[in-house]
Structure 1
Amino acid sequence: MINSVQRPLVSVLIPCYNVSEFVERAVYSILNQSYDHLEVWLIDDASTDKTLSILNKIEDKRINIVSFEENTKKIGAVNSVLKKVNGKFITFQDADDWSDPDRIAEQVSQFLLNPDLGICFTGYKYFGNSNAQPRQIALTDVDLKKEFLNFWKNRDIIVAPTVCSSMMITQEVLKSTGGYHEYFRGRVAEDIHWIYRILKNYPGITVNKPLYHYNIREGSFTQQQFTGKNAKQAYSWHLLSKIIHKDIYENIDLLMDVNKEELLKTELLACEEALTESILAARQLQENYERSMSFRIGKLLLKPIHLFYK
């Protein structure tokens, strides 16, 4: 573990939006870390519930509270705070999740052991509205690069092997990548795109311990992943996979201003593919229902009524 001399400052960002039911547990799971040399940024993105009032009642000298009057869809709020952080390492905590007490210590240890490391994740467990648990996760740099740099091949994965919100990065990585790309504001793939850009140029690793607890709750993105795709999610996955594929195999960054026209064409193609996928999925659901026992029984019961009206 880390000795008393090797204690670099770690900045922890906790973006919050209407999470009054969960946020206190999330914050205290960070404040109670065994590694306590932290600055903690509580970011309220214009919540309409009691989230901000709960944050204001938490007393700790390491806390900085930043609140926004208008919702920025996470990216705007987080990027603005990333410009203010002082830590040698930067990590995140989703406001409806929580972390084991040794999570940050374990991640800092990895960076101290490997000065070239750019990003570090941890293992995780699910809790909430699902009994599912994650399968084998990507642990090595090779596996992480295979996961994120080949995302265009893997977009149909239902459960992501890596929980993006467990990531810790260096100040150097932050300066070189600049945080989330503004293009992904309000989209579902902003984390994956940023991590892709990091892993293109820096090695990564995952601590093989379930130190992060990921909440699967009604209405959350992860919950929707378990219950099936909708058109918006399908569109985002198709679009991100095409952006990554273009960057890797054609050396074309579609998010540069000079490529606006090609990006628009790519968006339209992704939208078309997503709609087709959603239609096919709806047809499959209908076919499955028509083969079900309940449908057959209902059809049998209604048959006399149909004959009567004929």
Structure 2
Amino acid sequence: MLVSVVILAFKHNHSFLKMLQPLKQTNLKIDAVYCIHPSNCHFSETSADVISIPLLDDDYGATLNHLLPKMNASHTLIVDSQASLSKDIAIHQLTQQDTIVTGNHFACLITNHAILHFPFPDKWLLPFPESLLPFYLCTLPSEKKNLVTQSSNWATASNRNKSTTYRSIADWQQLYELEQAQSQTIPVTVLIANYNQGNYLDIAIASCLTGSIVPEAIFVSDDGSTDSSPYRLTNWNHPTVTTSFTDHNQGKVHALNDLLPSVQTPFILELDADDWLDPNAFSVLAETLKMWPTSSPLLYGNLRRWKEERLHQLTYKGIAKGRAVSSSSSLRQYRFPLGPRIYRTASLRCLGGFIQSPYEEGRLYEDVSTIYQLAKIGPLHYEDFTIYNVRDHAQSITQKNHSKWNGFLKQLDH
């Protein structure tokens, strides 16, 4: 069987060249080797063995969907340029009649014509370009994929790259539960209030739907956005996702409270439209909920932080580890936003919904105002778990308003 090879070069370097020697050592009958790379990089002079394919619209999924149907070979091996490829990789593993793809988180062998019916996702669904292959695999029907569980005979994360961000992204990729059967639900509703976060909104929604356990409902309120958000939301057609729109911006508290009456689950997870969840978030949360005392109105844990250098290019900043909050004074001194925030629906309704502070017309620190009042109902509960990813970027409301925190604290008890 003749096979084309596509190397995905996610970085602005020539790391893809390290993939050429392992390819030559395999038993694959290779028709041609292509490298998809950022359009502002020029690889044409680096190797006569590789055909240069500049990215279309900075989108690896769209580029693959355009390229694969034009291949001469019937199958294509798609490899992350920074992965370690086994020389024992073999194509005989594509055995089941309905199977269109064989692979794992770092390399996939795909039947080229299948891309017409099962295209790769576009960049707007992926927190990192590197998550393309595992995202694609985990969302395929189980009968369409053959997973390589023994990764040593296929591909693994490279041990050559010592970058903290690379290692962190590689570890994060492996949170995708590729072997999931039909998804089960957990009695949690995700609430997303969006205002002009169209560049990130699809990622936030999609992150709730990629695990073996998913929330019972996702409610998204668009709060009068003037960017691409309304267009993106109208393109969502999923039974778990319910969208609503307001004509003008009223603030996050209004948007969340508009959603609250429709919630029918005992628990609520609040997700900012520019953040996202781990692929296995609700599997982890299902176990964590068992440790949450019934007297507590709020469950929280740790936050994984990423700095956006440019659109969809992130640098890992570490885990902001939570700690127990035992009093209102310790809540005031909490060094970062408390999260992820999982609420008991009954407790929120007891407050009358999310609290709107008079400070800055209620458009800042609504989470702290609400948590501060919840702490009067019962103890806040911390568990050491990490499922929530925070994106620090220039347009973040929190990033823009650090200087107003002290003024907010002064009026908190009034």
TM category, shorter: 0.5 to 0.7
**Superposition pairs for residues 97-136 of structure 1, below 5 Å?**
97-116=275-294, 117-129=296-308, 132-136=317-321
**Superposition pairs for residues 1-310 of structure 1, below 5 Å?**
9-116=187-294, 117-129=296-308, 132-138=317-323, 143-146=324-327, 148-152=328-332, 154=333, 159-160=335-336, 162-163=338-339, 166-184=340-358, 185-224=361-400, 229-230=402-403, 232-240=404-412, 243=413, 254=414
Which deviations, in whole Å up to 9, do the C-alpha atoms of 1:223-254 show, x marking residues without a partner?
347xxx43x443223322xx1xxxxxxxxxx3
TM-fit CA distance, 1:192:
0.7
TM-fit CA distance, 1:207:
3.4
Q: Which amino acid aligns with 2:353?
A: G
TM-fit CA distance, 1:128:
2.2
Contact 2:186–2:282 under 8 Å retained in 1 = no
Q: Distance in 2 between matches of 1:207 and 1:34?
A: 22
The equivalent of 1:306 in structure 2 is: none
Q: Distance in 2 between matches of 1:204 and 1:233?
A: 21
Which deviations, in whole Å up to 9, do the C-alpha atoms of 1:245-298 show, x marking residues without a partner?
xxxxxxxxx3xxxxxxxxxxxxxxxxxxxxxxxxxxxxxxxxxxxxxxxxxxxx
CA distance 1:224–1:134, change in 2 (3 Å): farther
The equivalent of 2:117 in structure 1 is: none
TM-fit CA distance, 1:61:
0.5
Q: TM-score, normalised by structure 2?
A: 0.49
Which deviations, in whole Å up to 9, do the C-alpha atoms of 1:47-83 show, x marking residues without a partner?
0001011011122111111100011111111111112
The equivalent of 1:293 in structure 2 is: none
Contact 2:212–2:280 under 8 Å retained in 1 = yes
Q: Distance in 2 between matches of 1:61 and 1:79?
A: 22
Q: Distance in 1 between matches of 2:218 and 2:198?
A: 18
CA distance 1:112–1:151, change in 2 (3 Å): closer
Q: Which has the higher contact order (CA 8 A, sep 6+)?
A: 1
CA distance 1:204–1:236, change in 2 (3 Å): closer
TM-fit CA distance, 1:132:
4.1
Structure whose residues are more often helix by fraction: 1
TM-fit CA distance, 1:98:
0.5
Q: Distance in 2 between matches of 1:169 and 1:177?
A: 12
**Aligned-residue RMSD, C-alpha:** 2.6
Tell me the SS of whatever aligns to 1:9. strand
TM-fit CA distance, 1:118:
2.3
List runs of 5+ in structure 1 lacking aligned partners: 244-253, 255-310
Q: Distance in 2 between matches of 1:8 and 1:134?
A: 25
Structure whose residues are more often strand by fraction: 2
CA distance 1:114–1:233, change in 2 (3 Å): closer
Tell me the SS of whatever aligns to 1:201. coil
CA distance 1:136–1:92, change in 2 (3 Å): closer
Q: Distance in 1 between matches of 2:410 and 2:316?
A: 28
Q: TM-score, normalised by structure 1?
A: 0.64
Contact 1:44–1:51 under 8 Å retained in 2 = yes
Contact 1:8–1:87 under 8 Å retained in 2 = no
CA distance 1:206–1:106, change in 2 (3 Å): farther
Q: Which amino acid aligns with 2:325?
A: L
**Number of aligned residue pairs:** 223
Q: Distance in 2 between matches of 1:42 and 1:23?
A: 10
Q: Distance in 1 between matches of 2:289 and 2:386?
A: 18
Give me the identity figure in percent: 23
